[in-house]
Amino acid sequence: MSTPAAATEPANLMEAVVSLAKRRGFVFPSSEIYGGLNGFFDYGPLGVELKKNIRDCWWNDMVRRRDDVVGIETSIIMHPKVWEASGHVAGFSDPLVDCKVSKNRYRADQLFWSPIVIDGTIHGYVSALENEKTTEELQAAAELFKRKKAIVGTLAPVQPKDFTEATADEVAKIPSPATGNPDLTPPRAFNMMFQTNVGAMTDASSVAYLRPETAQGMFVDFKNVVDTGRVKLPFGIAQTGKSFRNEITPRNFIFRSREFEQMEMEFFIHEDDDWAKWHRYWIDWCTGWLKSIGLPASHLSEYDHLKEKLAFYSKGTTDIMFKFPFGVQELWGIAARGNYDLGQHEKASGVPQAIFDETSKKKFVPHVIEPAVGLDRIFLATLCAGYAEEAVTDEKGNTEMRTVLRFSPRIAPVKVAILPLLKNKEVLTDRAKTLYKKLQRRYAVFYDEGGAIGRRYRRQDEIGTPWCVTIDFDTIEKPGDTFTLRERDSMAQRRVTEAELFALLEEQVY
Ligand code: ATP
């Protein structure tokens, strides 16, 4: 039996993940034969299973297994007034900077710069795009500047600021990352909503938007759910679905794309209820859920948004952060939004959104806690956290490398691979196919009879299949009808019966 040694992380984990995702059919660039379309992706046969499993786990835990959350599905294109009332038409924008010469576009808050200060005097400016090494890049550029210009004196450490913090005078002097010359425009607000027209007319009266978030669906349908759903405060309305944002700089693979899927829930509470208690409850719930689908606690942290940067109606926002290979980034935002959203829709539509609470005998517009997460981001997090390369030594002492995705059985795209030991022995393949067909009724399973058994194990390791079942001669010849069950992470093998295999799956795949 082979044994795994300590896992090593590849030098460039992100590159390794993207390459595996393409090679094994998890994620492809959209419209690849036409050169792709920046910010859009397709999910391949394994990717679509992984994505569905993550979505189903969320739905089951968030909606079906709770008594206080119901689900809905609202349309992607909604009445344009929705986005006026929500503030998106006026304010859903990122600060955009153009390079007048290269025509490149940057998000001002992702474009960093610093003055080059030598012996207390500013001699020029350097710029760099945000990444994990922005400060080092700025420092190196400042040192290069000093060397090239042969300026004598002590160079002060760079002080990175983002481009939104530049004065008009500084904007005129900061070099464009594309040209090295001061070719940048001042930042301006760029609205990220995709526009379209509904119906045969393409004038201002027919303008509509692809939704930039799913949340407004829950607010706009609030009354419908209350009037039909027998819900009582506190309760939540959840939905999953596509959202669209015309991101200025889509990047980091599927982390920031222009079309993505969200899983959002609006949890409505009494106006007198303790919002901080519910906020904390949902942060903990979301963290626990991420762990339940296999994300390690070591990669998760919390970030509280600064009070002074919050929208005026917001009581508090905490992001659950994930340690991606390109830095610690937002995975899940949990916002306490007061009753701003329902209040806005009440004002704009003229339809009262207040409800009468039987317990307190009060009429009011409920407050809300909103946990909002991107499905594609969780997908990427599971790939990054699960990816490992390991040296494996077999019983003869030979060592080889294996790539393994340590997916939780809950989300693994294939739960079990069924492997007859030999392809040309009908007694083995018949038994294997019977088991395969039986498992297939409940689980995503894979039948593979091609190649040496070790190679078949490796192929499953690489796509994160938690268990392989081998049908061998002992299955046929010895009493008990047992198979070899091989576990992905430990590579340990033991014999199990069909009933034991089903019991294992019942316990671990939920
Ligand atoms: P960011 O600051 O990263 O742009 P945000 O704070 O604007 O995100 P929200 O509006 O709170 O994001 O959206 C909720 C969740 O949707 C985010 O936590 C993230 O997981 C996901 N999300 C947002 N924008 C994108 C995107 N462009 N691509 C993929 N997922 C996204």
Helices then strands, each counted (H, E), the chain = 15, 27
Average confidence score pLDDT of the chain:
95
> Is residue 4 over pLDDT 80?
no
Residue 329 CA: nearest ligand 1 atom is 3
Nearest CA to ligand 1 atom 6: 333
Strand (E) positions, 358-474?
Answer: 362-364, 367-374, 387-393, 399-405, 416-420, 445-447, 467-471
Percent of the chain with pLDDT over 70: 99
| Three-class secondary structure assignment of 149-162 | CCCCCCECCCCCEE
Three-class SS of residue 339? Answer: coil
Query: Which amino acid does the sequence have at 6?
Result: A
Nearest CA to ligand 1 atom 8: 330
Q: Where does 355-425 have alpha helices with state H?
A: 375-386
Nearest CA to ligand 1 atom 26: 256
Q: Which two tokens stand for residue 164?
A: 């939104």
State the DSSP string of 31-94: TGGGT--TT-EEE-HHHHHHHHHHHHHHHIIIIIT-SSEEE----SB--HHHHHHTTHHHH-EE
Mean local confidence (pLDDT), 151-172:
96
| Three-class secondary structure assignment of 105-137 | EEEHHHEEEEEEEECCEEEEEEEEECCCCHHHH
The predicted-structure confidence for 23-35, as pLDDT tens digits, reads as follows 999 999 999 999 9
Nearest CA to ligand 1 atom 27: 256
Nearest CA to ligand 1 atom 16: 374
pLDDT interval class at 196 (50, 70, 90) = very high
Class of domain 3-78+206-383: alpha beta
> Is residue 1 over pLDDT 80?
no
Choose which residue among 256, 264, 324, 328 to substitute to test ligand 1 binding: the one with the highest number of ligand atoms within 8 A of its C-beta: 256
- 374 CA from centroid of ligand 1 (Å): 6
pLDDT of 439? 98
Which DSSP category does 298 fall into?
Answer: G
- 101 CA from centroid of ligand 1 (Å): 31
**195-197/207-209 β-pairing:** antiparallel
**Residue 395, Ramachandran bin (φ over 0: left; ψ between -120 and 50: alpha; else beta):** alpha
Place of tokens 């981001």: 377
> Is residue 423 over pLDDT 80?
yes
Mean local confidence (pLDDT), 395-399:
85
Nearest CA to ligand 1 atom 25: 256
- 172 CA from centroid of ligand 1 (Å): 32
Which DSSP category does 193 fall into?
Answer: P
Give dist(CA 285, CA 290) in Å, integer.
9
Q: Which two tokens stand for residue 212?
A: 């930039």
Location of each CATH 3.40.50.800 domain in the chain: 414-508
> Is residue 229 over pLDDT 80?
no
> Is residue 7 over pLDDT 80?
no
HSE toward the beta carbon, residue 200, CA cutoff 13 A: 0
Residues 6+ apart with CB under 8 A from 204: none
> Is residue 427 over pLDDT 80?
yes
- 372 CA from centroid of ligand 1 (Å): 8
The predicted-structure confidence for 61-73, as pLDDT tens digits, reads as follows 999 999 999 999 9
> Is residue 397 over pLDDT 90?
no
H or E segment to which residue 457 belongs: helix 453-463
The predicted-structure confidence for 259-317, as pLDDT tens digits, reads as follows 999 999 999 999 999 999 999 999 999 999 999 999 999 999 999 999 998 988 999 99
Q: Which two tokens stand for residue 354?
A: 């207040």
Query: Which amino acid does the sequence have at 211?
Result: R
Give dist(CA 488, CA 416) in Å, integer.
10
pLDDT of 72? 98
pLDDT of 348? 98
H or E segment to which residue 487 belongs: strand 483-487
Location of each CATH 3.30.930.10 domain in the chain: 3-78+206-383
pLDDT of 311? 87
What φ, ψ does residue 262 adopt, rounded to 5°? -115, 155
Give dist(CA 281, CA 299) in Å, integer.
20
Residue 258 CA: nearest ligand 1 atom is 27
The whole-angstrom distance between residue 193's C-alpha and the CA centroid of its chain comes to 20
Bond preceding residue 29 cis, omega within 30 of 0: no
Nearest CA to ligand 1 atom 11: 333
Torsion angle of C-alpha atoms 102, 105, 111, 114, degrees rounded to 10:
30
Nearest CA to ligand 1 atom 24: 256
Nearest CA to ligand 1 atom 30: 374
What φ, ψ does residue 127 adopt, rounded to 5°? -140, 155
pLDDT of 395? 79
Does domain 414-508 fall under CATH 3.10.20.90? My reply is no
Give dist(CA 387, CA 399) in Å, integer.
19
Three-class SS of residue 21? Answer: helix
Residue 246 to residues 105, 211, 257, 260, Cα–Cα distance (Å): 13, 11, 8, 11
pTM to 2 decimal places: 0.92
> Is residue 187 over pLDDT 80?
yes
The whole-angstrom distance between residue 304's C-alpha and the CA centroid of its chain comes to 19
- 398 CA from centroid of ligand 1 (Å): 46
- 308 CA from centroid of ligand 1 (Å): 20
pLDDT of 3? 67
The predicted-structure confidence for 459-482, as pLDDT tens digits, reads as follows 999 999 999 999 999 999 999 999
- 272 CA from centroid of ligand 1 (Å): 30
**27-29/41-43 β-pairing:** antiparallel
pLDDT of 15? 96
Residues with CB under 6 A from ligand 1: 213, 245, 247, 256-257, 260, 262, 330-333, 372-374, 376-377
Mean local confidence (pLDDT), 315-329:
96
The predicted-structure confidence for 117-127, as pLDDT tens digits, reads as follows 999 999 999 99
pLDDT of 468? 98
pLDDT of 359? 87
Give me the sign of the Cα torsion angle 353, 354, 357, 358. negative
> Is residue 36 over pLDDT 80?
yes
Whether 206 contacts 199, CB under 8 Å: yes
